[in-house]
Structure 1
Amino acid sequence: MARPQAAPIARDWLGKTLAGILLGFTLALGCSALFVWLAASLPQSARSQLAMWLLAPVWIGVLGGVFFFHSGKQAWLWLGAANLLVFLIPIVGRHF
């Protein structure tokens, strides 16, 4: 009796990994900067320390979660849109 073929687990892993590394890093930087911008009530030293320590968990979380996308193209598009949103929030927020 023939065994059914399983779907490939690591489909387009290179595209997903590169999206997680490159766009995940810029997304983590943007989230860290957004935190500094939104947490204006905290003292400067606490804000900078929290922003510094926020970078690694966000980047690792994005890098780990990128493999839930169906393709590398989808990962690049969603992470690119998330980067655009994170970097546009302070720009739009300054005008209002």
Structure 2
Amino acid sequence: MKFLSQQKIQPDWWSKTFAGLVLGLSFAIACAALITLCGFQYLEKGLAPQFGLWSIPWIWLPIFFLAYFIPKGWQAILIYCGLNFIAYSLVFCLRG
């Protein structure tokens, strides 16, 4: 089995684009919800949702960019599905 540094980056850009676009956006939305939920404790009540809203592109665009550096498209989809599962599990646990 080759290590990730030795694997060649595959040209399956359709699946990588799907992973970055759809799954990356849903992950960014979950992270924004976490920021908003945690921000209610430390920020003003009207400022926390705005801070969460404006954090979405700052999280989503690097995630979208990094999807193309994962060697295979199915690995990107699998990694981003796992990240989404963890993020949304945290959101639902914190909401109560």
TM-score range, shorter chain: 0.7 to 0.9
1:15 corresponds in structure 2 to 15
Whichever residue aligns with residue 18 of structure 1, its letter is F
1:68-83 alignment runs, 5 A limit: 68-83=69-84
Greater CA radius of gyration, 1 or 2? Answer: 1
Aligned residues, how many?
89
Q: Output one character per residue of 1:39-72: Cα deviation in whole Å (capped at 9) or x when no partner.
A: 2221122111111110111111111011110111
1:1-96 alignment runs, 5 A limit: 11-41=11-41, 42-93=43-94
Aligned identity (percent) is: 27
- Provide TM-score, normalisation by structure 1: 0.82
In 2, the alpha carbon distance for the partners of 1:83 and 1:74 equals 14
2:3 corresponds in structure 1 to none
In 1, the alpha carbon distance for the partners of 2:94 and 2:84 equals 16
In 2, the alpha carbon distance for the partners of 1:33 and 1:66 equals 22
Unaligned runs of 5+ in 2: 1-6
Q: Aligned Cα RMSD in Å? A: 1.8
In 1, the alpha carbon distance for the partners of 2:58 and 2:40 equals 22
Query: What secondary structure, in the 3-state scheme, does the structure 2 residue paired with 1:44 have?
Result: coil
